[in-house]
Amino acid sequence: MRANTVIMIVLAGVFGVLAVVLANIWLANQRSAMARTDEVQRDTVVVAAVALKFGDTLSADKLREVAWPAGAVPAGAFKTTEELLTKDLPVGGGTKQALQSIGVNEPVLATKITGPGQRATLSAVLGEGMKAVSIRVNDVLGVAGFVFPGDRVDVLLTRTVRSADGTDQSFVDVLLQGMKVLAVDQVADESKDSPTVVKSVTVEASTKDAQKLTLAAGAGQLSLALRQAAASKGEVTERVTLSDLTGEMPADIAKKQAELARQAAADAAAAAERQSAEDARKRADEKIAGLAQAVDRVGTKLDQLSKVKPPAPIVVSAPAPEVTKEVVKYVQPEPPARATVGVYRGITLESYEVPRQK
């Protein structure tokens, strides 16, 4: 047998023994960990057996009890289903409802359900000392319907004011930051996930913030900016004006607007002057046309008169006593070959020699 073959067999045996030893050590550690786990004290916590949404009534078939480490029970959790359904209820009984979405196997906490005598209304969701204020929005100002209950939004205020020099200045301020959305229109269910164009959004605000929102609703236009779900800190903001959009100062904008107004007035005056000149030209053309027609009528009359024969002359005989007799013969004069016609052009009289028609 070769020496290489012997060496390979020996190495294989060593590695096999080593693998068995390591596997035994790992199994021993796992048994020790399981033994220590069994020594941990256990408790029970009530969790949701099915997914719950805002307004769902709690009942035994929607809840179940699960084992939970005694030292890690969440604050506000219930140990038994009976405790959850009957604790603090009036003598006559009653029901409890979910105030927000609760997932399957998620602990049902006291803050997520109604208290004694409460109903699943918007007032039950408000924090201590907080108010619910509604903001009128549309399909654009409401972030195209992508704002849902439970989201955080910033409220923007757009205003236009008149400065001392008479010019209008528009600007946008961030009025409030991180406002919690309680409801959109009349829906307060946080499990709602389909975008809907809404007409109003209800947010949670302190008393002072509620006053600001109410006053701002009449001072300008309110719009919403949806915040990142994990963003909780406020940020430093500043006013945005038209100069930030175009890089021009308000005085430059006012000067440009005045220049545009002057240019528009000059264009209007030039258009009026052109219209007036056009009207005068039309009137002159009409007068010239009338004079031409009058000349034509005069020429026609002259032609007619030239064709009329003059009356025969009357021959008077000499008195009887006279011996001498004279015979008078009337010779018709030849009509002139040309006629003179006068035409007024404006205020100037111009004469023309035109051939007479026979």
* Per-residue pLDDT tens digits for 140-183: 666 767 788 888 888 999 988 887 777 778 888 988 888 888 88
- Of 163, 165, 143, 145, which Cα lies nearest the Cα of 154? 143
Does pLDDT of 95 surpass 70?
A: yes
Kindly state the average pLDDT of the residues 96-117.
82
Give the burial class of 52: count Cβ atoms within 10 A of its Cβ; 0-12 exposed, 13-18 middle, 19 or more buried: buried
Does pLDDT of 242 surpass 60?
A: yes
Place of tokens 């049902």: 108
Kindly state the average pLDDT of the residues 269-292.
87
DSSP letter for 347, please: T
Residue-level pLDDT at 211: 92
Does pLDDT of 323 surpass 60?
A: no
| Three-class secondary structure of residue 356 per DSSP | coil
Q: Which amino acid is at 228?
A: Q
CA distances from 111 to 4, 46, 319, 333 (A): 74, 14, 155, 133
Cβ atoms 95, 116 nearer than 8 A: no
Q: Which amino acid is at 58?
A: L
How far apart CA 282 and CA 205 sit, in angstroms, is: 73
How far apart CA 84 and CA 78 sit, in angstroms, is: 6
Residue-level pLDDT at 240: 84
Kindly state the average pLDDT of the residues 27-55.
78
DSSP letter for 322, please: -
Name the fold adopted by 42-112.
Type Iii Antifreeze Protein Isoform Hplc 12 (3.90.1210)
Residue-level pLDDT at 208: 92
Instruction: Give the chain's largest Cα–Cα span.
Output: 201
- Of 156, 140, 154, 147, which Cα lies nearest the Cα of 187? 147
CB atoms within 10 A of CB 137: 22
Q: Beta strand 168-184 with 240-241: parallel, antiparallel or unpaired?
A: antiparallel
Top pLDDT among 173 and 316 is at 173
How far apart CA 270 and CA 266 sit, in angstroms, is: 6
- What the block records as the tokens of 252 is 């430059």
Top pLDDT among 114 and 246 is at 114
Q: Which amino acid is at 184?
A: V
pLDDT confidence band for 189 (50 / 70 / 90): low
| Three-class secondary structure of residue 23 per DSSP | helix
φ and ψ at 222, to 5 degrees?
Answer: -95, 140
- Of 106, 185, 97, which Cα lies nearest the Cα of 148? 185
pLDDT confidence band for 37 (50 / 70 / 90): low
How far apart CA 106 and CA 45 sit, in angstroms, is: 10
Cβ atoms 203, 132 nearer than 8 A: yes
How far apart CA 136 and CA 211 sit, in angstroms, is: 15
